[in-house]
Homo-oligomer: A and B are copies of this chain.
Amino acid sequence: MMLSGLRTHLTAIGLAALLAGCQATPPVEPRGTGDLGVVVERATGSLAVVDTSERRILTRVEGLGDLSHASVKFSRDARFAFVFGRDGGLSRVDLLSGEITHRVMQSGNSIGGAISQDGSLVAVANYEPGGVKLFDSQTLVEVAEIPATYRDENGEAQRSKVVGLVDAPGNRFVYSLFEAGEIAMIDMNGEAPEVTRFPDIGEAPYDALIGPNGRYYIAGLFGEDGLALLDLWHLEEGVTRILPDYGRGEARLPVYKMPHLEGWSVAGDEAWLPAVGRHEVLVADADDWSLVERIPVHGQPIFVMSRPDERQVWVNFAHPDNDVVQVIDTETREVIRTLSPGEAVLHMEFTPKGEHAWVSARDSDRITVYDTRTFEVLATLDSESPSGIFFTDRAHRIGL
Can you list 18 A-B contacts (CB < 8 A)?
A10-B15, A21-B22, A30-B96, A32-B79, A34-B78, A34-B392, A34-B395, A35-B78, A53-B76, A78-B78, A117-B353, A169-B355, A213-B268, A215-B310, A233-B311, A352-B395, A353-B396, A353-B398
CB-CB contacts of A192-213 with B at 8 A, as 1s and 0s?
0000000000000000000001
Task: Tell me if B4 and A12 are in contact (CB < 8 A).
Answer: yes
Interface residues of A in 1-54 (CB under 8 A from B): 3-4, 6-7, 10, 12, 15-16, 18-19, 21-22, 28-36, 53
A149: shortest Cβ distance to chain B, in Å? 29
| Residues of B close to A338: CB separation below 8 A | none
| Residues of B close to A12: CB separation below 8 A | 3-4, 7
**Which B-chain residue is minimally distant from A119 (CB atoms)?**
B53
Task: Tell me if A77 and B398 are in contact (CB < 8 A).
Answer: no
The residue among A16, A19, A213, A287 with the most chain B CB atoms within 10 A of its own CB is A213
**Which B-chain residue is minimally distant from A392 (CB atoms)?**
B34
The copy count of this chain in the complex is 2
> What's the Cα separation between A105 and B32 when bound, in Å?
26
Interface size range of chain A in the complex: 35 or more
Task: Tell me if A170 and B373 are in contact (CB < 8 A).
Answer: yes
Tell me if A84 counts as interface (CB < 8 A to partner B).
no
6 nearest interchain CB pairs? Answer: A32-B79, A34-B78, A32-B77, A352-B396, A169-B309, A393-B396
Task: Tell me if A77 and B31 are in contact (CB < 8 A).
Answer: yes
A377: shortest Cβ distance to chain B, in Å? 16
Tell me if A214 counts as interface (CB < 8 A to partner B).
yes
| Residues of B close to A119: CB separation below 8 A | 35, 53
Report if A35-B76 is in contact (Cβ < 8 Å); known contacts: A7-B12, A373-B170. yes
Chain A binding surface, main DSSP class: loop
A198: shortest Cβ distance to chain B, in Å? 20
Tell me if A269 counts as interface (CB < 8 A to partner B).
yes
- Chain A residues near B (Cβ < 8 Å): 3-4, 6-7, 10, 12, 15-16, 18-19, 21-22, 28-36, 53, 74-80, 95-97, 117-119, 167, 169-171, 189, 213-215, 233, 267-269, 287, 308-311, 331, 352-355, 373, 392-393, 395-398
A53 interface neighbour in B77, B97, B268, B396, Cβ under 8 Å: B77
> What's the Cα separation between A53 and B78 when bound, in Å?
12
Task: Tell me if A355 and B117 are in contact (CB < 8 A).
Answer: yes
> What's the Cα separation between A171 and B21 when bound, in Å?
45
> What's the Cα separation between A261 and B353 when bound, in Å?
21
Task: Tell me if A7 and B15 are in contact (CB < 8 A).
Answer: yes
| Residues of B close to A311: CB separation below 8 A | 169, 215, 233
A190: shortest Cβ distance to chain B, in Å? 12
> What's the Cα separation between A293 and B311 when bound, in Å?
30
A173: shortest Cβ distance to chain B, in Å? 13
Task: Tell me if B53 and A233 are in contact (CB < 8 A).
Answer: no
Report if A77-B34 is in contact (Cβ < 8 Å); known contacts: A118-B355, A169-B354. yes
A15 interface neighbour in B3, B22, B97, B171, Cβ under 8 Å: B3
Task: Tell me if B33 and A34 are in contact (CB < 8 A).
Answer: yes
**Which B-chain residue is minimally distant from A10 (CB atoms)?**
B15
A309 interface neighbour in B35, B215, B352, Cβ under 8 Å: B215
